Chains A and B, each alone.
Chain A
Amino acid sequence: MRARRSPRRVLPRPGLTVASAAAVAVALLPLVYLAVRAGEAGWDRLTTELLTERLAVLAGRSLALAAVVTAACTVLGVGAALLVARTDLPGRRAFGVVAALPLAVPTYVAGFAWIATVDGFAGFWAAALLLTVCSYPYVFLPAVAALTRADPGQEEVSRSLGRGPWATLLGVTLRQIRPAVAAGALLVALYVLSDFGAVSLVQVDTFTRAIFTAFNLGFDRTGALVLSTVLVVLTVLLIGAELTTRTRDARYASTAVRPPVRLGLGRWRWPAVTALLAVLALALGVPAVGLARWLAAGVSRPGSLAEIAAAAGGSLSVSLAGAAFTMLLALPLGLLAARAPGPVTTLLERLTYVAHALPGVVIGLSLVFFAVNVAYPLYQSRWLLALAYATLFLPLAVGAVASAAAQSPPAVEEAARSLGRGPFAVFRTVTLPLTLPGIGAGAALTFLTCMKELPATLLLRPTGMDTLATELWTHTSTAAYAAAAPYAAILVVLAAVPTWLLAARTGLTDPGGTR
């Protein structure tokens, strides 16, 4: 029985694999569109658009920005995670929650605030700073989760063999959390490649900006889409690079979590607190001051409370639909990744990332194309928008489900089965409850990312429906900043709720740090 269900089979769990493949197909819809349009453009057009010095420069700059931001986010994210999870930092539980909150601030809101606050805030390093303070939680959150759940046994062995606490931290603990950090770093890198809001505000010419420029210049769709194919290639390279950091056995958690050993910071306690506060001032303080200034400096006001409520309702409803749909697609993939690791699973899981670095406008247009040609009844319904969110954010959800499922050893399920439970009963009574925290985390992360999404929302929303993000865009595009400020504030506050939930479930906030 055990041998027959060994995970070494080439195509394990056919049903789960098929459901996963269906989810991947959804995530790859934009690629079909790109292929169709690139095919129409023809080889000559492709070569003349792509083989230019300017594109090489832009691609180089995008990759450099991605490298700088990813490195900075890794240092910042892991550093902050170690401080709150493994040291005696004063107020570490509060820091653990607050340090995740920058995830709730859309980069375009932060960008506006920085420009208004700092004179001459522009250029490559401005973009790097902006993107770093907005996206380091992508590394911080998984790092904290991994640190609070890592098996202290390995550390204890290291200590007992004579290594000091810091040497153990560097040599054992960081190694344990490496897969979690690498996955977060990949998300950061892909986000930087796809970001348009921040880079356009601080005037850095990146590849994504070239795509938007092509759309605007002469309304040239084909040129823009041809450029997008390059982003797909860059993404595949990044995914390959991240794969090399994966170890064979990524199951790093133990079921019985003991409180980890905390390191004494000694006289570094207060410098560490100051450093964290400084990061938070940049990530949260500047946007808050920026919004307050908008309100104070302008006389425009949003239409009415009803309008704001309608926009908030729109945001909530499409983001909930998006998160639900994304989780539905992510569940089989996440379970497959945790229960049947192997080449097929890895391929399927990695494929969900391929469209992740494409700018929202390309995803939006590809779903317009899909709906108009294949699923017209879906067109301009919120379900198509939910589908777009799923293609955009599936990797966020799959990662969360997979890591939660990986933490529940298959032995528990097998024991339930051997005691006579049917597979569905096992799923309902064992797998689902054990995976539920992961599903919740994935849903929260997807939900808050959906809230912030703008370009695809503009293209795909039902006609006449507003969200907080679209209202914010509407008002800022006519310089009505004071009217925009309440939308931005509510957007950040609503997105902060799932962020808080995410931070809370890392286990940091539990009394005594035990679970």
Chain B
Amino acid sequence: MQKRLSVILTATLAGLLSLTACGGGDESDPGKPGDKRLTIYSGRSETLVKPVLEKFEKSSGIKVDVRYGTTAQMAAQLLEEGERSPADAFLAQDAGALGAVTKAGQLATLPQEVLDRVPAAYRASGGQWVGVSGRSRVLAYNADQVTQDQLPKSVFELTDPRWKGKIGVAPTNGSFQAFVTALRVQHGDARAKEFLTGLKANEPQIRDNNVQIVADIDAGKIAAGLVNHYYVYEMAKERGGDPATLKARLHFFPDGDTGGLVNAAGIGLLKRAGSDPDARALVDHLLGAEAQTYFATQTFEYPLAAGIPAAPGLPQLAALDAPKIDLNDLDTLDATVAMIKESGLA
């Protein structure tokens, strides 16, 4: 009776499931070393990274399959996949995410000659990841609302009542978290906590990400904000003009102030690709002159290898009076997160 109908339905369902099982298998990368195929998980945006990877495919003859997502999401996915991850390489927006995957023991150690191409501050002390491009924390400000002489010498000044309600921050963003961790490393937990409490009391403008902060600064909705340096350049590019035509300007914190932390976007290889010559070729390509020039001129980041200069208009990395902080010391993210939550910022 009705049973037969249900049997048919169930059978169809089962049939579909088994069909899918076959369909899925063909597409996945077998991931053998040297098979001229790589699967890359990219927490960096497709618009920024794709041109570099296309060049790599052309010059090396290695086919890359790329998954794009946010850095946090890609990290979560890698951690969930564990040993069965089909990924060969993880391109991340900041050192913190690479650190989280490193902690789970999923990244292979890179050869010393690869690591040595990048200054020690911008690579894992254990050698599990290497920085590809640098990004400086800055205070972006609206030139109509903040004058040169009002710009703070130190990020600590932002807790001053003068800045009440005027500062944009993105507390859930990895770059902000790395900055707070750097505060803790440089000045101790007590001082960092005091800063966060003071910042919260100053009624900051909370945003989800740096793009929104920079857009609001340029539109005059916020006077200033703590962001990474290249967002203003990205916006200028979208508007088709010179950064000088924007209302949003950059202020690099002087004298080694923590507000000027330079973080790195980097790459780590999953254990299964540790000895894969294809994966090694990818790392070499990203640290080579061509890719480094691309990051300098197209994403407006700081090249970390091959002696390539920064984009015109930007102070050179060496000329930045960045705080002397080893990114490896920024691995106590849990404490930072607890502190940000406690302060009420996120």
Measured in the bound complex, the distance between the Cα atoms of B177 and A298 in whole Å is 31
Contact partners of A54 in chain B: CB under 8 A:
341, 344
Question: If A15-B5, A221-B80 touch, does A478 touch B45 (CB 8 Å cutoff)?
Answer: yes
**A220 beta carbon closer than 8 Å to chain B:** yes
Contact partners of A125 in chain B: CB under 8 A:
none
Question: If A15-B4, A215-B72 touch, does A380 touch B24 (CB 8 Å cutoff)?
Answer: yes
Contact A482 B238 (CB under 8 A): yes
Contacts of A472-488 to chain B: CB distance below 8 A: 474-475, 477-483
Contact A13 B9 (CB under 8 A): no
| Nearest A residue to B216, CB-CB | A115
Within 8 Å by CB of B86, from A119, A221, A378, A463, lies A463
Contact partners of B8 in chain A: CB under 8 A:
424
Measured in the bound complex, the distance between the Cα atoms of B206 and A203 in whole Å is 8
Within 8 Å by CB of A220, from B9, B69, B337, lies B337
Contact B84 A372 (CB under 8 A): yes
**A174 beta carbon closer than 8 Å to chain B:** no
Query: Which candidate, B15-23, B124-132, B145-153, B304-312, is the interface stretch facing chain A?
Result: B15-23
Contact B238 A298 (CB under 8 A): yes
Contact partners of B20 in chain A: CB under 8 A:
378, 381, 383-384, 386
Contact A478 B86 (CB under 8 A): no
Contact A221 B79 (CB under 8 A): yes
Measured in the bound complex, the distance between the Cα atoms of B10 and A27 in whole Å is 16
Bitwise, A445-458 to B at CB < 8 A (1) or not (0) is: 00000000001001
**B97 beta carbon closer than 8 Å to chain A:** yes
A-B contact count (CB 8 A): 185
Contact A377 B334 (CB under 8 A): no
Measured in the bound complex, the distance between the Cα atoms of B180 and A385 in whole Å is 37
**B55 beta carbon closer than 8 Å to chain A:** no
Question: If A218-B177, A369-B80, A475-B47 touch, does A481 touch B207 (CB 8 Å cutoff)?
Answer: no
Interface of A is mostly: helix
Contact partners of A305 in chain B: CB under 8 A:
none
Query: Which candidate, A38-46, A126-134, A285-293, A326-334, is the interface stretch facing chain B?
Result: A326-334
New contact pairs (18) apart from A216-B72, A219-B72, CB-CB < 8 Å: A15-B5, A54-B341, A216-B172, A217-B337, A217-B346, A218-B334, A219-B75, A328-B16, A332-B6, A372-B80, A377-B24, A377-B25, A380-B86, A381-B23, A478-B45, A478-B48, A479-B215, A479-B235
**B67 beta carbon closer than 8 Å to chain A:** yes
Within 8 Å by CB of B3, from A15, A369, A482, A483, lies A15
CB distance from B266 to the nearest CB of A (A): 15
Bitwise, B23-39 to A at CB < 8 A (1) or not (0) is: 11101110000000001
**B245 beta carbon closer than 8 Å to chain A:** no
Measured in the bound complex, the distance between the Cα atoms of B257 and A204 in whole Å is 32
22 pairs of residues in contact across A and B, judged by CB atoms under 8 Å: A22-B10, A216-B172, A218-B333, A220-B337, A221-B79, A221-B80, A297-B239, A300-B238, A328-B13, A361-B73, A368-B77, A368-B80, A380-B27, A383-B23, A383-B24, A427-B5, A458-B68, A462-B27, A463-B65, A477-B45, A477-B211, A479-B215
Q: Count the A residues whose beta carbon is within 8 Å of the partner chain — how many?
A: 67
| Nearest A residue to B206, CB-CB | A203
**A284 beta carbon closer than 8 Å to chain B:** no
Within 8 Å by CB of A474, from B2, B9, B17, B46, lies B46
CB distance from A21 to the nearest CB of B (A): 10
Measured in the bound complex, the distance between the Cα atoms of B48 and A300 in whole Å is 13
**B203 beta carbon closer than 8 Å to chain A:** no
Measured in the bound complex, the distance between the Cα atoms of B4 and A475 in whole Å is 50
Measured in the bound complex, the distance between the Cα atoms of B211 and A479 in whole Å is 7
Contact A372 B10 (CB under 8 A): no
Contact partners of A136 in chain B: CB under 8 A:
none
Residues of chain A touching chain B, judged by Cβ–Cβ distance below 8 Å, are: 13-16, 18-19, 22, 54, 119-120, 200-201, 203, 212-213, 215-221, 297-300, 325, 328-329, 331-332, 361, 365, 368-369, 372, 375-384, 386, 423-424, 427, 455, 458-459, 461-464, 470, 474-475, 477-483
Bitwise, B206-220 to A at CB < 8 A (1) or not (0) is: 111101001100000
Contact A299 B80 (CB under 8 A): no
**B244 beta carbon closer than 8 Å to chain A:** no
Contact partners of A300 in chain B: CB under 8 A:
237-238
Measured in the bound complex, the distance between the Cα atoms of B298 and A480 in whole Å is 13
Within 8 Å by CB of A478, from B47, B79, B240, lies B47
Measured in the bound complex, the distance between the Cα atoms of B70 and A424 in whole Å is 49
CB distance from A214 to the nearest CB of B (A): 9
**B317 beta carbon closer than 8 Å to chain A:** no
Within 8 Å by CB of A328, from B9, B174, B214, lies B9
Contact B5 A298 (CB under 8 A): no
Contact A375 B45 (CB under 8 A): no
Question: If A16-B5, A328-B9 touch, does A219 touch B238 (CB 8 Å cutoff)?
Answer: no
Measured in the bound complex, the distance between the Cα atoms of B81 and A221 in whole Å is 13
**B7 beta carbon closer than 8 Å to chain A:** yes
Contact B76 A221 (CB under 8 A): yes
Contact partners of B337 in chain A: CB under 8 A:
217-218, 220
| Nearest B residue to A297, CB-CB | B239
CB distance from A331 to the nearest CB of B (A): 7
**B190 beta carbon closer than 8 Å to chain A:** no
CB distance from A313 to the nearest CB of B (A): 16
Measured in the bound complex, the distance between the Cα atoms of B10 and A432 in whole Å is 17
Contact B12 A15 (CB under 8 A): no
**B234 beta carbon closer than 8 Å to chain A:** yes
| Nearest B residue to A423, CB-CB | B1
Bitwise, B135-179 to A at CB < 8 A (1) or not (0) is: 000000000000000000000000000000000000011100100
Contact partners of B315 in chain A: CB under 8 A:
none
| Nearest B residue to A303, CB-CB | B50
CB distance from A271 to the nearest CB of B (A): 36
Contact partners of A459 in chain B: CB under 8 A:
69, 73, 77
Contact B240 A298 (CB under 8 A): yes
Contact A215 B80 (CB under 8 A): no
Question: If A16-B2, A217-B341, A423-B1 touch, does A478 touch B24 (CB 8 Å cutoff)?
Answer: no
Contact partners of B27 in chain A: CB under 8 A:
380-381, 462
Contact partners of A221 in chain B: CB under 8 A:
76, 79-80
Contact partners of A382 in chain B: CB under 8 A:
23
